């Protein structure tokens, strides 16, 4: 499998075999790191990380993964890109200095333009419509805990079914043959182009793609996944109507029991509102609004693998960089 020089902008650009290869490579690199083996596949490579949006896992994962493999990493959050300098001009400048560029921000077009104009390998760390590195981390986590092929997994994403994490997971799941379900209120409509693409890919891979508002679809789920109800960059005024709309889909013990399986994994991309220990959740509670998308007893349960997912962001991001840029 030769992916050197290939951008990582969306899993729509990757085949089933390429996606599974990246997951397997991540598993190998994780085992090597645990054993203290370092091969420095990115030695003397220069990597630039561009962040329009705040980050914990994505920034730390790219930095640690880069350093583990011998790269020099620059974190760039105060450039003139898009303000005094166009995306195209910035891309051409950075491409003269860096071998790889990561972008985490708002518009998918920005990461596509960086790839178009820079001449460097470009990786998508998150946009408003996709989150492909998260999907790879989730696939690795599922394989570690369920011990069966991904194409035998039933995966139910619950809640805000038209956000970037949901769409990124849908693209990857339908590529590799997962039985994938988006479970949420009728009021939240999936982009028709996303739906059509996923239905087509699921049919080709032998998986399935379903959109439902009925909690009965949780039956036999191997994975129950959710995300916060108001995404980064959305207006604060959305909290009240979004909570009212989504509270029937809050992840509780009762909801998890609907799968009929004690082995069902609870997954979340993080950060999560699962208690009132964050300023955001606490302030909203004082105004009478419970913004928790999952209850604490599920988040901290034995079924929860959320921190394994968080760690696996680093291993799968490392795999992407090694495969597309490494020597």
| Catalytic hit among 99, 160, 179, 227 | 227
β-bridge partners, 156: 181, 224
104 is catalytic: yes
| Catalytic hit among 57, 59, 104, 162 | 104
Instruction: Give the C-alpha separation, 289 to 281, whole Å.
Output: 8
| Catalytic hit among 131, 162, 274, 315 | 131
242 is catalytic: no
Sign of the CA dihedral running 183, 184, 187, 192: negative
By three-state DSSP, how is residue 187 classified? coil
β-bridge pairing 179-183 and 208-212: parallel
Distance of CA 45 to the CA centre of its chain: 25
DSSP 35-73: TT----TTTT-EEEEEESS--SHHHHHHHHHHHHTT-EE
| Catalytic hit among 57, 68, 134, 274 | 134
β-bridge pairing 121-126 and 179-183: unpaired
> Is residue 125 within 8 Å of 168, Cβ to Cβ?
no
313 is catalytic: yes
Sign of the CA dihedral running 160, 179, 58, 226: positive
> Is residue 325 within 8 Å of 99, Cβ to Cβ?
yes
303 is catalytic: no
My answer on whether omega of the bond before 20 falls inside 30° of 0, hence cis, is: no
| Catalytic hit among 7, 274, 313, 315 | 313
Return all residues near 76 (Cβ < 8 A) that are at least 6 apart: 48, 49, 50, 51
**The residue to which tokens 């980050």 are assigned:** 55
φ, ψ of residue 122 to 5 degrees: the values are -120, 140
134 is catalytic: yes
What is the spatial order of strands in the sheet that 100-104 belongs to? Answer: 72-76, 46-51, 100-104, 121-126
| Catalytic hit among 160, 222, 269, 274 | 269
> Is residue 105 within 8 Å of 53, Cβ to Cβ?
yes
99 is catalytic: no
- Cite the active site residues: 104, 131, 134, 227, 269, 313
């Amino acid at each position: 499998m030769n992916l050197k020089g290939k951008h990582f902008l969306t899993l729509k650009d990757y085949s089933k075999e390429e996606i599974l290869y990246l997951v397997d490579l991540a598993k190998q690199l994780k085992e090597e790191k645990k054993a203290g083996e370092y091969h420095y596949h990115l030695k003397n490579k220069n990597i630039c990380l561009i962040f329009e949006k705040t980050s914990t896992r994505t920034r730390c994962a790219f930095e640690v993964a880069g350093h583990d493999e011998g790269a020099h990493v620059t974190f760039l959050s105060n450039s003139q890109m898009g303000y005094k300098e166009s995306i195209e001009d910035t891309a051409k400048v950075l491409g003269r200095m860096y071998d790889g560029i990561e972008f985490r921000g708002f518009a998918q077009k920005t990461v596509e333009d960086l790839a178009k104009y820079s001449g460097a390998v470009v990786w998508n760390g998150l946009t408003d419509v996709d989150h492909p590195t998260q999907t790879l981390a989730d696939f690795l986590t599922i394989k570690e805990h369920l011990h069966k092929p991904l194409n035998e997994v039933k995966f139910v994403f619950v809640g805000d079914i038209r956000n970037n994490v949901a769409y990124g997971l849908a693209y990857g799941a339908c590529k590799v043959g997962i039985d994938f379900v988006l479970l949420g209120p009728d009021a939240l409509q999936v982009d028709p182009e996303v739906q059509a693409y996923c239905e087509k890919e699921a049919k080709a891979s032998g998986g399935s793609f379903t959109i439902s508002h009925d909690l009965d679809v949780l039956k036999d789920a191997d994975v129950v996944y959710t995300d916060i109800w108001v995404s980064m960059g959305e207006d604060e005024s959305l909290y009240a109507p979004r909570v009212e709309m989504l509270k029937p889909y809050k992840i509780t013990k009762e909801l998890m029991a609907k799968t009929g399986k004690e082995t069902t994994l609870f997954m979340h991309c993080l950060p999560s509102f699962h208690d009132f220990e964050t300023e955001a959740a606490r302030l909203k509670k004082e105004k009478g609004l419970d913004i928790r998308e999952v209850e604490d007893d599920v988040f901290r349960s034995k079924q929860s693998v959320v921190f394994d997912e968080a760690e696996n962001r680093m291993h799968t991001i490392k795999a992407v960089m090694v495969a597309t840029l490494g020597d």
